Each structure stands twice: as structure tokens, then as C-alpha cells.
Chains A and B, each alone.
Chain A
Amino acid sequence: MAEVAEKEKVQMLDIYVMGKRYKVPEGLTIQTALEYCGYHIIRGCGCRAGFCGACGTIYNFTYDPTIRYALGCQKEIEQNMVITQIPFFPATEALYNVEDLEPKEGENKLVELYPDILTCFGCNNCTKTCPQDLEVMEFMSAAIRGDIKRVAELSFDCLICGLCAARCPQGLQPYNVALAARRIYGHYMAPKSQHNLNRVKEIEEGKFNVELEELKKASEAELRKRYAAREIEPAK
């Protein structure tokens, strides 16, 4: 386990957790700084590796009121940072069956699911908020135009932290709109994988049953032999 203390001289920084001052050593993330302050985190902590979006955090500085956004597990603390976590933000997700969302000419499924998106007035707060640096407003414009493919592409790295919804003056939920778009794209618009469908059919017809049953019963020596004899496809 890495120990911060192994550094010889550690610079101590002032941070303000929900307005309260603590001294913490430099080099910590917002998350580990909270733990250093003595917090046993319940909400606001998930994968601790920048994937899950549980630790959305809003911060600014005592000398600079501009609001900034980060994932608590990814952002290193700085002197005079004032932080608060937003582990939950209310958002009402549309309920649907993806089987009912086949895109058709002249229809905009995303507007049907989330009619409010038409009220977007382009303030760009969502884009400024995104800790993944996604072009959120741009994919919201694409959603309004009905360009599902573009929404799916631009939003692919979304962690669903919800910070964009927290800052939208119109109460929109860009992350949920994008999720619906990606599901529609994956289900209807991505080209079908014929080799996968073929293999599923073969398995259902029992093509590999005999050989798999044999393997299940094979001795370890036999398995080792067959394992060593495998031909290895060159990596691409």
C-alpha cells in the first residue's frame, strides 16, 4: 500500500469541505482528502477509478468564485479549494421499451421521450460542467435534430454522474437523453453482426454438443495434450 507519508517533506494545503477548513497533505485527490479529514464516505464513492460517476464534485476557490466541476476520485486538491459533493440529483427518467423505439423518417424518438429538450436555449452550462469533457450541448442539439448517431458518438464516454442535469437551467437531463440515443443506435442502427447470429443458431441447433460433452469428460492429461496442440491465431 502506498503511503503518502513516504515523501520526506509534505506540503500541507488548506481545503474547505462544505465551508469548513481542513489542512491536508498535497497530492491527495478530493476523495482521499475527504478521508484524510476523517470522513467515512457512504454516498459519493464508487469505483475510485474514474468510471462510475458516483463522486461528482463542485468546487471553487476562496479567492475565485467561478464554479468548477470534477470527479472526486480523479481531481487533485489545490490550495484554498472549497468543495462539496453532489452524490445525487433528482431526474425523472423516461420509461420505455427499446423495442418500441424504431427510428422512422419524420419522427424524433428522443423528443417524444424527452419533449423538454426543445426548451434548450444553448447556454452551454452542460458542456462546461462535464468532467469527461464531452460536447454535451452539441449532442443535445443533435438530439433536437433527431441525429441519433451523432448523439451516440458524442456521448459515448458519459459516466452518468448527473452534473449536467444539476446545472441545466431548464431542468433537462442530457445524460438520460444520450443513454436512450445510444440504446436506439445499438439496437436498430448499428450494422448487424452476421457471424454472431450464425454462431447462436449453430449452438441452438446443438452443433457443438458432442465435442463439448467429450471435453467435459476428458482426463487432465488429454486436456493438456489438446491445449498444447492448439493453433494460436496471430494477434491483430
Chain B
Amino acid sequence: MPYPPYMEESIRKLEASRQRRMKEEIPLISSDERDIIVRKYHPDYRETGKRKLLLGPNKDETMPEELANQLEGNSRVDPDKVDLSKIGYDVDVLIIGSGGAGLSAALLAQENGAKVLIATKLRLGDSNTIGAEGGTQAADRPNDSPVLHYLDTMGGGHFENVPELVWAMARDAPMAIKWLEDLGVNWDKETDGSMRELELAGECRRRVHSCKDYTGLEVMRVLRDEVRCRDNIDYIEFEPAIELIMDDEGQVAGAILVNLETNELSLVRAKAVIVATGGLGRLHTQGFPTTNHYGATADGLAMAYRVGCSLIYGDSIQYHPTGAVYPLQFVGILITENVRALGGQIINIDGEQVACNLEPRDILASFEIRECTERHKGITTPAGNVGVWEDIPLIDMIHGEGTIARRLPSLVHKFSRFNIDLIHEPVLVYPTLHYQNGGVRMDANSATEVPGLWVPGEVGGGVHGRNRLGGNATLDIYVFGRRAGREATRYAKEVKLGKLTLNHVRQWQKELEWLGIVKERPFSPMLLPNYARQPSDYLADLYTEKLQSGLVKLA
């Protein structure tokens, strides 16, 4: 039996109300009501776990504490011990990170004539993109248009998005879909070739292109293969950047890489640098579990901040409303939003709907938090985690038997490993740290305020305002990755590099010393989270065979 008996009892109530709920329509709340519920319940508006930055371009702005520590961290290199004349790699365009944004940029840079090097922390392609299940927005159906896509994106972001970025994304979207298809991506289609598109929360048209629920994986398989097949793109795995190198003209001119296994440093001189390191889920802001991959530790934010780039909406984090809560092994992992798009409702302990299942992410997350805290209508697992039900079996009742198995194979397969049959049973969900809405400030080609540096994808900010819609993250990475690759190459053909320097690092450390916080701040970038239990704890436990709280973190 998958769920303990007391949880099964709540499932019986959910099943009893299903016939009624199939016809029950809960209206979407208005944009004014949205502002109210978000302010009251969304984790971004909590006062705890935050502090003001003491230095750098965003000085005096409030950020989540974990991010603030990374931004204000100590450099991992001692500039006096690095010989900048010993260049290991000399290239036109250096790309740091190899997710969807990095690899899109690499391909476009190569096509435009650049010699490209990709440096990546884990394996080529390991990234949040690979776990993107839902899909990619593009207004390409006849009753849709980039104009509607623009409006949806703005509304979802509480109208705080940067207009020129939304314009670029909505406009380029159909081209990005075609580009990927030409590379050999298998989009879900009807037999006549028309795309099978879904409507995710906050969208007024069916616009999300998917590849079953393996959308990001399918794209990454193809992009990675294409990168390997092309001349003039080299890549180094398990070798992240730990600091950007500048020249005496104030331009970004390369990076220092570290071999994670031998700790050897290598220097890259590059005419243009594209930082595509993604987000920060593994910082676990506000103590949340995360859907993010192992390497999502805000490296690019820390490095870009140190060379003088400012952040926009750095304090805005997306907590995805449907992170798994049970079983324990799956805490925090993503239940794709396609479940809601297909009709999956969010249900409390008594079998009642919590809110309209098509509310945007921050709104539904806020409703769930209200339901589980103030209203005490959540379901508590044996491990003490709280969540609400997502009624997946309803999908087969709406769309016909077999729909769940066909449209959500990875989800069904995963839970079956723990004897939970999602075709017949609901899944328990709660908000989980999913995405960094903001990031490094950039223009419509992903160029930052510092010459020589581009930031496509999740590391860049502004396009999503303070809340991203489903299907706009994978779109963002292809659109801005392609733009960055093209523009960085154009720039690389013209730029004259001066003398390489790490004076910005010296200056940074001086400021930390002057503020008296050198010892209080960690080294950054973090590179990898450390979930390893410490040896001293291990010995203690070995004798008592009893666990202490807080030692083992999951997912």
C-alpha cells in the first residue's frame, strides 16, 4: 500500500468529491486580488531570512541571506599568486555553463565564425534545462500571436518585466521552436504535423510545446550532440569558472577555471565571455527544498557582481506550487505543471479545491501556504512534512483512459518505483524552490552593463518580472542564448583586449576587509552544495546508532 492508512482516508474524501469537482469551476482571481494574497503568504514577502547587501552595485538592497552571502563572498583566488601570462586557452568566445542557454550560445557563436570554448562544472549538458518537463512557449497557432504572449508574460510578472526583453522573447519564440526542430528535436505533434500545445497557468492560449514530459531532456540530448559534432567548439567538463578576468580597459577578458578533481587552475583568455550558469536553487533560500540540479549555486551571479554588474529582482524567487512531498525520497522534486494544464486540481484534506488549478505559480503557491498554515487543511506525512493533494487521476476522467500514461510517462515511472500508482492515486504537493525570477541586468541581446560579458538564461534577469510563467524559462534560454552567441561573436571580431588584470578582485577583497566581514563571509562561488555528513557526526552516530536532526538533507 503506497500511502499510510490515515492519508488514504483523506484520499477517500478526495475521490468522493471528484464527480462534483469535475463540474465545479472556481474563477481566476483578479490582478488586484493577486497582489493581496502574494503579499500575505508568498515566501518572498517574509521578513526573516533576508538582509541588506553591504557592498557592490546593489548595496543597501535586501536579498535572501544565502544569496547575499554568495554575492559578498571571498574570492577563491589570490591575485598575487596567479600568473596571468600563463594562458591555457586563447579563444574568441568563452561560455561558462552548458545548459540550454550556454549550448544555444555556443552553436550560434560557432556559426558566426567564433572559436568557442565551453567550461562546465559537471558533465556537458548537466543543468536545470535537462529537468524541464513542461515545455516551451511560442505563439505559433493561428488564433495566437506574439502580442498575446507579450501580455500574458507581463501579467504573470505583475507588470514589472523589462519591456524590451519580453518583446525579444515573444518575437523570437516561433523561430526558436523551428531552429530546434531543424536540429532534430521531436516536438509532440498531431498526425497532420500541427503542434500539440498546452495552456499553462496564466496563459490565454494553448502555446506550450512539449516532448512528452521529457521536454528539456530531449532538447539537451540534441544540443549536446550537435555541440560535439561541430568543429571549433571545445568543451571542458568538471572545470567551473571561479573568477572572471578583466583587462586594463575595464572589459571582461576571460576566466579562471578550476579542475574539480585535481584543484589545478587554468586561465582562459577570451575576447567575449558568456556566463550561462543558471540559477540558485541549491542555496535553499528560506529553507525550501528545490527542484534544481546539483550545480545550481548562483556561481554566475557572484562572479558577475564582482566585476560590477548589478542585479534586477535578485530578491524574487519562484516557489513552484507542485513540488513533491511524499515519499521522502522525492521531497522537493518537480511535478510538472502539465498536470494542472490537463485538469489536475489542488485539493485539501477534506476533498475541497484550494484554488483554481490554472492560477499562476506564485498565486497558487500562496494559496497552498495559506491552506496548510493558517487554515490547517493540509495533510501531514509521517516525516512531518505538510502538503495538499494534486488530483492526477482526474485527468483520465476528463481526457479518457490512458492519457496519464501517455502524456506523463516519466512521472508515472518515477512514482511506480515507490509503489505509488499515479494513474489511480493523487500526489501530495507543496511549494518548492524552482527558479530565480531576477538575475543580472541585461539588454535584449543579453549584454550586461560591463563590456565583454553576456548573461543569457536564468542567470540574467528582467524578462520574467517578479514571477515567471510556465514554458517561458526554456524559451528564455534558447532565445537569449542564441542572441548572446551572435552578439558576443560580433563583438569579439572588433574588440581589442588590453593587459589582463585581477585588480577588481584585489579591490573587492580590500572592501571586504574595510567592512570587517572577510572572516564572516564564505568563499564564493559555492560550486557544489555539501550534503555530506561530517566525519565527526558520523563517529558520534556510529556509537549511538541514533540520528540527529539536521544531518541528512534530501533532494
Contacts and interface: CB of A to CB of B under 8 A. Distances in A.
B532 A74 contact: no
Contacts of A1: 284, 287-289, 553-554
B44 interface: no
Contact of B199 (A5, A93, A182, A235): A235
A233 B204 contact: yes
Given A52-B131, A74-B417, A200-B178, A182 B293 contact: no
B199 A233 contact: yes
A157 B214 contact: yes
Contacts of A216: 163-164, 167
Contacts, number: 284
B141 A47 contact: no
Interface in A15-47: 23, 25, 27-29, 32, 35-43, 45-47
A36 B294 contact: no
Interface stretch (B5-13, B83-91, B186-194): B186-194
B245 to A, nearest CB: 24
A47 B131 contact: yes
A159 interface: yes
Interface string B162-176: 011001001100110
Given A3-B383, A50-B410, A215 B183 contact: no
Nearest to A8: B382
A195 to B, nearest CB: 6
A93 to B, nearest CB: 6
A177 B145 CA distance: 38
A3 B194 CA distance: 47
A47 B294 contact: yes
Nearest to B130: A52
A215 B385 contact: no
B265 interface: no
A4 B552 contact: yes
A114 B219 CA distance: 22
A214 B551 CA distance: 55
Query: In the complex, which of the residues B186, B191, B343, B535 has the most CB atoms of chain A within 10 Å of its own CB atom?
Result: B186
A188 B227 CA distance: 20
B261 interface: yes
A63 interface: no
A235 B343 contact: yes
B182 interface: yes
B194 A193 contact: yes
A68 interface: no
Interface stretch (A95-103, A104-112, A136-144, A163-171): A95-103
Interface string B518-542: 0000000000101111110010001
A96 B175 CA distance: 24
A132 B413 contact: yes
B550 A3 contact: yes
Interface stretch (A78-86, A116-124, A218-226): A218-226
A227 B123 contact: no
Given A51-B130, A76-B329, A232-B204, A203 B193 contact: no
B185 interface: yes
A172 interface: no
B283 interface: no
B48 interface: no
Interface string B150-167: 111011000100011001
B140 A5 contact: no
A185 B186 contact: yes
A196 B552 contact: no
A179 B225 contact: yes
Interface in B455-507: none
A228 B417 CA distance: 44
A50 B410 CA distance: 9
B532 A51 contact: no
A193 B187 contact: yes
Interface string B94-129: 000000000000000000000000000011011010
B355 interface: no
Contacts of B427: none
Contacts of B409: 157
A212 B552 contact: no
A218 to B, nearest CB: 8
Query: In the complex, which of the residues B148, B152, B229, B294 has the most CB atoms of chain A within 10 Å of its own CB atom?
Result: B294
A5 B130 contact: no
B214 A27 contact: no
Contact of A200 (B175, B221, B334, B385): B175
Nearest to B534: A38
B530 A40 contact: yes
Contact of A47 (B126, B143, B145, B554): B126
Given A2-B383, A208-B147, A236 B333 contact: no
A152 B30 CA distance: 45
B384 interface: yes
A11 to B, nearest CB: 10
A191 B184 contact: no
Contacts of A46: 122-123, 126, 130, 293-294
Contacts of B177: 196
Contacts of B238: 42-43
Nearest to B155: A227
Given A2-B383, A36-B533, A46-B130, A197 B178 contact: yes
A34 to B, nearest CB: 8
Interface string A158-194: 1110000000000000000001101111110011111
A64 interface: no
A215 B191 contact: no
Contacts of A215: 147, 150-151, 163, 167
Contacts of A152: 186
A208 B148 CA distance: 11
A67 interface: no
B55 interface: no
A74 B329 CA distance: 8
Contact of A42 (B184, B260, B384): B260
Given A48-B555, A179-B225, A186-B185, A223 B151 contact: yes
Closest 5 CB pairs of A and B: A183-B184, A191-B193, A5-B547, A199-B140, A186-B184
8 contacts: A2-B331, A4-B328, A25-B552, A32-B329, A39-B532, A45-B122, A179-B225, A235-B358
